[in-house]
Amino acid sequence: MKNLFKSLAKISGLTLLSRISGLARDVIIARSFGAGPMTDAFWVAFRIPNLLRRLFAEGAFSQAFIPILKEIQKTESADRTQQLIDHTALVLSISLLILTAIGIIGAPWFTLAVASGLTENDNFEIATTMTRIMFPYILCMSLVSFASGILNTWSRFAIPAFTPILLNLSMIACSLLLVHVVNVPIYALSIGVMVGGVLQLGVQWMALAKLGLLPRFSLRFSAAFNDHDVRRLLKNMLPAILGLSVTQISILINTNIATYLEHGSVTWLSFSDRLMEFPSALLGMALGTVLLPSLSEAYSQKDSKTYNALMDWGIKLILLFGLPACIGMALLRTGLVSVLFNYGAFNELDVEKTSSAVLAYSIGLIGILSIKILAPAFYARQDIKTPIKIGVIILCLTQALNLIFVPLLQHTGLTLSIALGSLFNASLLYVYLRKHRFYQPSESIIKFLVKLLPALIVLTLFLYLVQSPSDWLNSLNNHGITYWTQQLLMNVVTDPLKSFQISRIICLFGLIFASILCYFATLFICGFRIRDFKRYSPS
């Protein structure tokens, strides 16, 4: 019997620190630059290398590399495993150098493809320049992803989960120290991105060196390219790239649409993305990271009982933590956005616009989380084509929904389409796994979900009754919990604005703590115990 809960807790804890530092970064960006054309230009420029990184590195590469590396590690010698690492690193590095050069030269065309709505003003040139500055980020982060795949295969989960913090810290430092040095202040953020990429690469490669797994580069590219397992990796990557392209094309289309909407739309979407990435990374990505090597091992050993037990364990954890996260994000959306971003240039209109996007996203959060568990079930079997077919269906669906929702809801329509698409995506993945008997869930999952309902109902009623969106805005209509907390603080903090900001922070953290207590107390009464989730049993 194997304990994965400890690994999950470690990754989630470090991911929590990463997301907190990421939110701190976004708070500083919001306070310093607001939600205007310049900030939109940065997010557009950052999205281009970031999308390619997700496509070639963290997405397609990880899905194809980890199952093959795990197989070689288990079935062949250490020398052969090291040779595969060496050959893969060489092919990956040369390919990425070529891609980076193309990206820097073709930056105007990349920017035009993502944000054609910026061509009518100077922000297009600014976005193009920042794209050139940040394009080498894909080289750094692809090699970081390569190192992470090796470390995760060797069950060294901590370093890959920690290093994203370095990106956030470098962006914070550069935005504070360089904003008055560079000729265009927003350029400081793009410099911070590159510094963060180099730092992450350095830390992860030192971790590989400590394990004795650091790649040994050579000039024998033909030998590396003709390696049977490298060829197999590239063969598996091709459908993975096509599959992930569907998702990235959808993101590119949405970003392009947003540039034609009201000024600030790209920034509102980016900040709402950041908030939704918090539970997605904290639970979904962390759980997927832990499960993929274990599922790959179970599949390679034809151990269907362990495979099914791992999936049951993952789905139960998604339900246990994901459903209350959906409720919390939906009902506390204005509180979260106002406490995190409503300072300086980020005004109350920006809060309302970002909050509406968060509400739409929260509808599909359980789908987003479930995909992080269901997709690795295919990748572990080295079946990447099926998620591609489903992804194409989802792309068509989300863009059809955009035609309906965007004219009615503007930027919120984009997030609602993504949310509904995620729910449908997760449903199709689950149905396919069941239909082809790749995964046979135990009957306990339905019983488990039914037992969760009382706690979910109590949580919803609690958050609905004790606060409302207007409580978090500094307006004449605010007579809620933040207003009364502010009145108590006025004896200590006499400045009305500062006392209101402090009262919001106190109320938000108080409500989050009370919600967690309320939810888990109800679960405890219903007979749930945390120790039940520390282990899975392949029985």
Taking phi over 0 as left and psi of -120 to 50 as alpha, with beta for the rest, 344 belongs to: left
Query: pLDDT grade, residue 30 (50/70/90)?
Result: confident
Residue 407 pLDDT: 92
Instruction: Please report where in the chains the tokens 């339905």 appear, as a residue.
Output: 446
For residue 71, count other CB atoms closer than 10 A to its CB.
17
Q: Average pLDDT in the 261-281 region?
A: 84
Q: What is the predicted pLDDT for the residue at 160? A: 86
Average pLDDT for residues 290-314, to the nearest whole number?
A: 84
Interior CA angle at 270 toward 264 and 274, to 5°?
A: 145
Reading the block at residue 217, the tokens are 């580069």
List pLDDT tens digits, range 394-404. 889 999 999 99
Q: Which pLDDT band, with edges at 50, 70 and 90, does 537 fall under?
A: very low
Cβ atoms within 10 A of the Cβ of 20, count?
Answer: 13
Q: Is pLDDT above 90 for 432?
A: yes
DSSP alpha helix (H) spans, 410-443: 411-435
CA–CA distance from 369 to each of 308, 366, 421, 425, 521 (Å)?
Answer: 18, 5, 13, 11, 24
Is pTM beyond 0.95 here? no
pLDDT at position 538 is 45
Tokens of 152: 């995760």
